[in-house]
């Protein structure tokens, strides 16, 4: 490859290249004209459109979350409120040496291993220009200490936010419930507009039932933001409306007394005001601290609560289903009177009962028997044989009909969501649910509240209120009023018409009530120990419900039975007998006999209500006494 005649071709080469260079120059000119044309179109012809778009880019609407309404008891005691809490957030992008910064912050603020680990984990998930929570609950002292040294930490912000707090914690956990972080699942159910900027929502209890009232309305704020959504300045704002405050029928003092009276037992106490259905106390033990759930409970604590054999997370007052035992005997007695059976007709109790043509013995709790008893004696002494005979005489359908009218096994309509019904067994139910025939023996044991029959403590309290009301069935309620925090105006919930059961106000009730008074004040009353020397007249009925069926005739010593298999103790009562102000139902799990364990609890509650409470009110000079 030798070049030919370099000189001769050089001018020819030059001509060729120069020609092409001229073409290139024209190309440059054309392209530059196109380019300038393009910029003219963008910057002059379409300027307005792009300027609008640029403004839209900068202006952002930010939600202003509302302050959640408070929950107060009937005396104005706060049961749920919002506390300002200090939160330390870090924008990692603005920090040079993260490790050193964390160490220095650790000298001012108590940073746990868990805080740091959680922070580092979130750091990997979210962009570095976003604020990350380092520590979410600083004490006032820590907050003060940090703010003094704030200048040393650009990129670290101390911010105050509101956190839901339940001052009484476990005491009101089962009633008030708790709020928790809105989960992925929740977001599908809720209105995204209403929850703009809100991180928490009611999860259970009244916090859930009255979520709409408590929530309030989100406001909006017009802000200038950058591409990452960081707020540069505020342009306009439309404030949020705080949620309504809930005023409950609950008396937290009474609640406390009831809980303390229940002591270490698992169980439930429901106290109602029979005339209105106001729930004065609503206790379920064991309980838990709802404050743990607000910002997410740690898995270990949750596992402990969930797996505990005592089931502290379950609200026994509405979800616990128990055999009512002898507490339903007054209802059966009313059925007998209402069916025009003779209350004075005596039944012989030898200590057991057998059906005709059968030798199976249904035992009375009193092994040696009560001898001849009439209706009055049978209630006072809780004679099982009498009621075996009564149930047999009435038949299961009549028994179930009367129990149902008193609300046994029925949804009470309390203002808590997803209230279950109990179980009111009938032959029809058994055929449908179990594809089995009804046996006569099952009618017999229903007469003493055993067998398939299951009630919740709340239902039992409602049934007690029906007795106290002489036949009027009320709907229990926890809400007394909804207060608009801005105007202070209290809206009362619409009065639910109370149903009267058939033959309400019949003189039969007075007779039953007197029989129940005898339980506490009669010489042979099963709960006479608890009724002794009370300045008010109390009416009640004890109950002892078997957890396992004890084979007839077999001997068993209560002390030898494992704790979980021991009988449940029950007691229902209202007072004063002639003009009842409170009605209550008590169920104590595995506590043995109702008269020994449950009735004294009722006495403590009544004593507080009728003596101690009034004394305190008088001392504090409060003119208004509720209830």
Partner 1 sequence: MKGCEGQPFPEGRVFSGRRVHIDGPLVLGVLALSFFGLMVIYSASGESWQVMWRQSARLVLSVVVMLAVAQIPPGLLRRLSPHFFLAGILILTLVLIAGYVGKGAQRWLDLGVVRFQPSELMKLGVPMAVAWLLTRRSLPPRFLDVLLAIVVIVLPAVLVVVQPDLGTAIMLMISGLLVLFLSGARWQHLLMLTAVALAAAPYLWSRLHEYQQERILTMFDPWSDPLGSGYHSIQSMIAIGSAGLAGKGWLSGSQSHLEFIPERSTDFVFAVFAEEFGLIGVIALVTLYVFLVGRCLVMAYHVREAFSRLLIGGLAMTFFFYFFVNTAMVSGLLPVVGVPLPLVSYGGTSMVTLMAAFGIMMGAYTRRHLMF
Contact residues toward partner 1 (CB under 8 A) are 1, 3-6, 9-10, 12-14, 16-21, 23-25, 28, 31-32, 34-36, 38-40, 42-44, 46-47, 49-51, 53-54, 57-58, 224-228, 232
Nearest Cα to Cα of residue 91 among 137, 57, 122 = 122
Dist CA 406 CA 390 (whole Å): 18
Distances (CA, A) of 193 to 60, 164, 258, 364: 15, 21, 42, 63
Q: Count other C-beta atoms under 10 Å from residue 540's C-beta.
A: 36
Between CA 396 and CA 401 the distance in angstroms is: 8
Q: For partner 1, which is the closer residue by CB, 55 or 618? A: 55
Closest approach of partner 1 to the CB of residue 16, in Å: 4
DSSP structure class, residue 232 = E
Residue 384 and residue 366: Cα distance in Å, rounded? 8
Question: At closest approach, how far in Å is the CB of 11 from partner 1?
Answer: 9
The residue (of 140 and 226) whose beta carbon lies closer to partner 1 is 226
Give CA–CA dist 88/116, Å, rounded: 12
Nearer to partner 1, 231 or 548 (CB): 231
Neighbours of 357 (CB within 10 A): 6
Q: Nearest approach, Cβ of 37 to partner 1 (angstroms)?
A: 10
Cβ at position 182, least distance to partner 1 in Å? 25
Q: What are phi and psi of 462, to 5 degrees?
A: -65, -45
Cα distances (angstroms) measured from residue 298 to each of 84, 86, 126, 294, 304: 22, 20, 21, 11, 10
Nearer CB in complex with partner 1: 56/357: 56
For residue 98, the minimal CB distance to partner 1 (Å) is 19
Active site residue 326: yes
The smaller minimum CB distance to partner 1, of residues 60 and 514, is found at 60
Cα distances (Å, whole numbers) of residue 245 to 65, 68, 357, 491: 16, 8, 64, 10
- In terms of CB distance, is 224 or 289 closer to partner 1? 224
Smallest gap from residue 157 Cβ to partner 1 (A): 20
Residue tagged 């003219």 (tokens):
40
Residue 32 vs 490, nearer CB to partner 1? 32
Q: Which of 165, 203, 447, 455 is nearest to 331 (CA)?
A: 447
Catalytic position from the list 209, 268, 284, 326: 326
The answer to whether the beta carbons of residues 451 and 425 sit under 8 Å apart is yes
The answer to whether residues 417 and 411 touch, using CB atoms and an 8 Å cutoff, is no
Closest approach of partner 1 to the CB of residue 195, in Å = 23
Catalytic residues: 326
């Amino acid at each position: 490859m030798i070049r030919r005649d370099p000189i001769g071709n050089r001018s020819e080469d030059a001509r060729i290249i120069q020609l092409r260079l001229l073409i290139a120059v024209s190309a440059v000119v054309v392209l530059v004209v196109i380019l300038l044309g393009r910029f003219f179109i963008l910057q002059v012809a379409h300027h307005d459109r792009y300027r609008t778009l640029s403004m839209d880019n900068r202006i952002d609407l930010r939600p202003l979350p509302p302050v959640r309404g408070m929950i107060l008891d009937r005396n104005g005691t706060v049961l749920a409120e919002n506390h300002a809490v200090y939160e330390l957030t870090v924008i990692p992008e603005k920090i040079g040496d993260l490790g050193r910064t964390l160490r220095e912050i650790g000298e001012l603020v108590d940073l746990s291993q868990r805080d740091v680990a959680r922070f580092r984990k979130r750091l990997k998930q979210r962009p570095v220009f976003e604020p990350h929570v380092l520590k979410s609950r600083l004490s006032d002292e820590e907050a003060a200490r940090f703010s003094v040294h704030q200048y040393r930490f650009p990129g670290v912000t101390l911010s105050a936010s509101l956190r839901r707090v339940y001052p009484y914690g476990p005491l009101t956990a089962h009633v008030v419930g708790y709020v928790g972080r809105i989960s992925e699942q929740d977001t599908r159910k809720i209105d995204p507009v209403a929850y703009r900027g809100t991180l928490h929502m009611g999860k259970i209890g009244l916090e859930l039932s009255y979520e709409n009232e408590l929530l309030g309305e989100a406001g909006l704020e017009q802000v200038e933001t950058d591409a990452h959504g960081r707020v540069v300045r505020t342009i306009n704002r439309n404030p949020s409306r705080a949620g309504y405050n809930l005023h409950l029928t609950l008396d937290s003092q009474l609640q406390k007394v009831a809980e303390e009276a229940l002591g270490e037992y698992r169980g439930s106490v429901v106290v109602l005001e029979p005339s209105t259905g106001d729930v004065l106390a609503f206790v379920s033990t064991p309980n838990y601290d709802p404050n743990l759930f607000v910002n997410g409970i740690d898995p270990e604590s949750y596992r402990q609560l969930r797996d505990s054999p005592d089931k502290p997370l379950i609200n026994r007052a509405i979800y616990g289903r128990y055999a009512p035992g002898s507490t339903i005997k007054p209802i059966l007695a009313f059925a007998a009177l209402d069916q025009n059976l003779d209350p004075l007709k005596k039944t012989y109790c030898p200590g057991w009962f057998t059906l005709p043509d059968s030798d199976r013995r249904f035992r009375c709790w009193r092994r040696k028997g009560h001898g001849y008893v009439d209706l009055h004696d049978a209630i006072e002494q809780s004679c099982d044989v009498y009621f075996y005979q009564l149930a047999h005489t009435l038949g299961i359908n009549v028994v179930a009909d009367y129990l149902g009218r008193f609300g046994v096994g029925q949804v009470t309509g309390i203002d808590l969501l997803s209230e279950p019904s109990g179980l009111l067994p009938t032959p029809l139910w058994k055929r449908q649910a179990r594809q089995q025939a009804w046996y006569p023996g099952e009618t017999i044991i229903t007469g003493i509240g055993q067998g398939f029959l299951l009630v919740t403590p709340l239902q039992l309290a409602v049934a007690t209120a029906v007795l106290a009301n002489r036949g009027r069935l009320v709907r229990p309620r926890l809400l007394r009023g909804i207060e608009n925090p801005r105007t202070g105006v209290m809206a009362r919930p619409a009065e639910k018409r109370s149903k009267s059961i058939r033959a309400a106000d019949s003189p039969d009730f007075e007779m039953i009530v007197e029989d129940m008074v005898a339980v506490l004040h009669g010489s042979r009353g099963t709960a006479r120990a608890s009724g002794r020397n009370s300045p008010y007249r109390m009416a009640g009925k004890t109950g002892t419900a078997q957890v396992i069926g004890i084979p007839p005739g077999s001997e068993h010593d209560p002390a030898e039975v494992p704790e979980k298999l021991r009988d449940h103790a029950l007691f229902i009562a209202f007072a004063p007998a002639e003009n009842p102000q409170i009605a209550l139902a008590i169920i104590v799990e595995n506590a043995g006999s109702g008269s020994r364990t449950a009735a004294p609890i009722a006495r403590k509650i009544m004593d507080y209500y009728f003596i101690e409470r009034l004394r305190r009110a008088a001392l504090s000079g409060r003119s208004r006494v509720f209830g």
